[in-house]
Amino acid sequence: MISKRLEHVVDWVEGNVLADIGCDHGYVCIESIKQHKVTKAYACDIAPKPLARAQAEVKSAHLEEQIQCLLLDGMVGLPEDVDIVVIAGMGGHTIIDILEKATLHRGMHFLISPHSDTELVRKFLISHGFTIEKEKMVYDKHYYPILACTYTQSEQVLSDFQIRYGYQVESSQDYVSYLQKQETKYQQLFLRVPKKRKEFEKELEILQKRDTL
């Protein structure tokens, strides 16, 4: 069964040919085909076992003609007809490594959902030719950001707040709750760790700037 987080990823899938990198059970590809978001998809994984699970799910859904399962190291060797790529459910450093090794084409769309180091991912994207277009925050036991971006070969400039907490983030209770949680965390750290008060004070100042955006 597809998770709430992946449901939100599928909601933003739009294109002709999808590649899901680190496909796990292949649910993103399956749902994207079922919902007519794309006409063809590649479920990709570096490990044989997850790929075998995806193949079984694809077969069970009778979608073998539209979804191909590929054993790949990230995006290396990805077919050239792909126009939208999903990279979700892995750490920020792994996502950056995948993008650094990838052959990219101008206009290629991405949906990226890191489970850690999102700030590093944003910094990498805006300095390596990607334009972040919109984001949303989804709470599914943890808070997960979803970034929609395009490889434009241009450099995007974001504020400190946008780098840390998102650019053009969809308004939602999940996002409001996430920002409140971050503010509470830094307020508590400010009181508990006197040696780093300047650092936490700066974080609180950045959070307060959201009201001016």
pLDDT of 212 above 50 = no
> In the prediction, which pLDDT does 209 show?
77
Contact call for residues 107 and 82 (beta carbons, < 8 A): no
69-92 residue pLDDT tens: 999 999 999 999 999 999 999 999
| CA 193/CA 35 separation, integer angstroms | 50
Share of residues in the chain with pLDDT > 70 (%) = 99
CB-based contacts of 170-173 (< 8 A; 24+ apart in sequence): 170/134, 170/135, 170/136, 170/137, 172/136, 172/137
> In the prediction, which pLDDT does 187 show?
94
Share of residues in the chain with pLDDT > 90 (%) = 94
137-187 residue pLDDT tens: 999 999 999 999 999 999 999 999 999 999 999 999 999 999 999 999 999
Contact call for residues 124 and 89 (beta carbons, < 8 A): no
> In the prediction, which pLDDT does 24 show?
82
Confidence of residue 40 (pLDDT cuts 50, 70, 90): very high
Average pLDDT, the chain: 95
pTM of the model: 0.94
> In the prediction, which pLDDT does 152 show?
98
The 3-class SS string of the chain reads CCCHHHHHHHHCCCCCEEEEECCCCCHHHHHHHHCCCCCEEEEEECCHHHHHHHHHHHHHCCCCCCEEEEECCCCCCCCCCCCEEEEEEECHHHHHHHHHHCCCCCCCEEEEEECCCHHHHHHHHHHCCEEEEEEEEEECCCEEEEEEEEECCCCCCCCHHHHHHCCCECCCHHHHHHHHHHHHHHHHHHHHCHHHHHHHHHHHHHHHHHHHC
> In the prediction, which pLDDT does 119 show?
97
> In the prediction, which pLDDT does 211 show?
56
pLDDT of 208 above 90 = no
What mean pLDDT is predicted for residues 21-41? 96
Task: Name the phi and psi angles at 8, rounded to 5.
Answer: -70, -35
Q: Report the candidate in 127, 76, 66, 79 with the shortest Cα–Cα distance to residue 97.
A: 76
| CA 9/CA 21 separation, integer angstroms | 13
Q: Report the candidate in 11, 12, 76 with the shortest Cα–Cα distance to residue 42.
A: 76
95-140 residue pLDDT tens: 999 999 999 999 999 999 999 999 999 999 999 999 999 999 999 9
> In the prediction, which pLDDT does 213 show?
44
